[in-house]
Chains A and B, each alone.
Chain A
Amino acid sequence: METSIPTLSGRTSGGRVIYLDHSASTPVDARVLEAMMPFFAEHYGNPSGIHAQARASAQALDQSRREVAEILGCKPKEVVFTSCGTESDNLAIRGVAFAAAQAGKGQHIITSACEHHAVTHTIAQLCEHFGFQQTVVPVDRWGMVDPADVKRAIRPDTVLISIIYANNEVGTIQPLAAIGEIARERGIPLHTDAVQAGGYLDLNVDHLNVDLLSLSGHKFYAPKGVGLLFVREGIALLPQQTGGGHEGGRRAGTENVPYIVGLAKALKMAQDMRSTENERLVRLRDHLIQSVRATLPDAQLTGHPTQRLPHHASFVIPGVEANVLLMHLDLMGICAASGSACNTGAAEPSDVLLAMGIPPQLALGALRLTLGRSTTSEDIETVLEVLPAVVRRLSALQPM
Chain B
Amino acid sequence: MVKERGTVVVAMSGGVDSSMAAALLVEQGYTVIGVMLRLWAACSARDNRCCTPDSMAAARQVAAQLNIPFYVLDYREVFRHIVVDYFVSTYAAGRTPNPCILCNERIRFGLLLKEALALGAQYLATGHYARVRRTETGEYQLLRGRDLTKDQSYVLHRLNQRQLQHVLFPLGDRLKSDVRRAALQRGLMVHDRSDSQDLCFAGENGDYRAFIAQYAPQLLRPGPVLDTSGTLLGQHQGLAFYTIGQRKGLGIARAQRTYVVQLDPAHNAVIVGGAEELGRDALFASSVHYISGQPPPSPMRITARIRYKSPDVPATLTCLEGDRAYVKFDRSLRDITPGQAVVFYQDEVVLGGGFIE
Contacts and interface: CB of A to CB of B under 8 A. Distances in A.
B115 A324 contact: yes
Interface string A332-358: 000000000000011100000000000
Contact of B106 (A327, A393, A400): A400
Given A6-B69, A8-B31, A397-B118, A347 B64 contact: no
A393 B120 CA distance: 10
Interface in A130-167: none
A6 B110 CA distance: 27
Interface stretch (B71-79, B238-246, B312-320): B71-79
A324 B65 CA distance: 24
A28 interface: no
A4 B82 CA distance: 38
A394 B118 CA distance: 7
Contacts of B67: 2, 4, 6
B108 to A, nearest CB: 13
B343 interface: no
B119 interface: yes
A271 interface: no
A99 B7 CA distance: 59
Contacts of A323: 71, 73-74
Contacts of A7: 69
B5 interface: no
A237 interface: no
Given A2-B64, A345-B38, A347-B77, A331 B111 contact: no
Nearest to A8: B31
B81 to A, nearest CB: 9
Interface string A297-330: 0000000000000000000000000011001101
B68 interface: yes
B114 interface: yes
A51 interface: no
B33 interface: yes
A394 B117 CA distance: 11
A24 B15 CA distance: 31
A152 to B, nearest CB: 39
Interface string A1-16: 0101011100100000
Contacts of B120: 331
A331 B118 contact: no
Contacts of B69: 6-8, 330-331
Contacts of B114: 397-398, 400
Interface string B1-38: 00000010000000000000000000000010100001
Interface residues of B, number: 27
A2 B38 CA distance: 24
B68 to A, nearest CB: 5
Contacts of A328: 118-119
A140 B78 CA distance: 33
Taking each of B74, B110, B114, which has the highest tally of chain A beta carbons within 10 Å of its own beta carbon? B74
A347 B65 CA distance: 28
Contacts, number: 51
Interface in B58-111: 63-65, 67-74, 76-78, 82, 106, 110-111
Interface in A380-400: 393-394, 397-398, 400
B88 to A, nearest CB: 19
Given A6-B67, A6-B68, A347 B74 contact: yes
A346 B67 CA distance: 25
Given A2-B64, A400-B110, A327 B74 contact: no
B173 to A, nearest CB: 27
A324 B78 CA distance: 15
Contacts of A324: 73, 115
Nearest to A324: B115
Interface in B104-151: 106, 110-111, 114-115, 118-120
A397 B68 CA distance: 24
Contacts of B110: 400
A232 to B, nearest CB: 41
B76 to A, nearest CB: 8
A327 B119 contact: yes
Taking each of B67, B106, B119, which has the highest tally of chain A beta carbons within 10 Å of its own beta carbon? B119
Given A331-B33, A400-B110, A393 B74 contact: no
A327 B118 CA distance: 11
Contact of A8 (B7, B38, B72, B82): B7
Nearest to A326: B71
A330 B114 CA distance: 18
Contacts of B74: 323, 345-347
Contacts of B68: 6
Nearest to B31: A8
A4 B120 CA distance: 22
B118 A400 contact: no
Nearest to B111: A400
A2 B74 CA distance: 26
A65 B33 CA distance: 47
B62 to A, nearest CB: 11
A329 B68 CA distance: 15
Contacts of B106: 400
A398 B115 CA distance: 10
A345 B75 CA distance: 10
A297 to B, nearest CB: 22
Contacts of A327: 71, 73, 119
A331 B119 contact: yes
Taking each of A6, A324, A347, which has the highest tally of chain B beta carbons within 10 Å of its own beta carbon? A6
Contacts of A11: 31
Contacts of B82: 400
Interface string A77-96: 00000000000000000000
B302 to A, nearest CB: 32
A12 B334 CA distance: 58
A4 B68 CA distance: 10
Contacts of B7: 8
Interface pairs A-B: 6 shortest CB-CB: A2-B64, A347-B74, A397-B118, A327-B71, A6-B69, A6-B67
Given A7-B69, A400-B110, 4 more contacts: A11-B31, A327-B73, A331-B33, A331-B69
Interface of A: 2, 4, 6-8, 11, 323-324, 327-328, 330-331, 345-347, 393-394, 397-398, 400
16 contacts: A2-B64, A4-B67, A6-B67, A8-B31, A8-B33, A11-B31, A323-B74, A324-B73, A331-B33, A331-B120, A345-B38, A345-B72, A345-B74, A346-B74, A347-B74, A393-B118
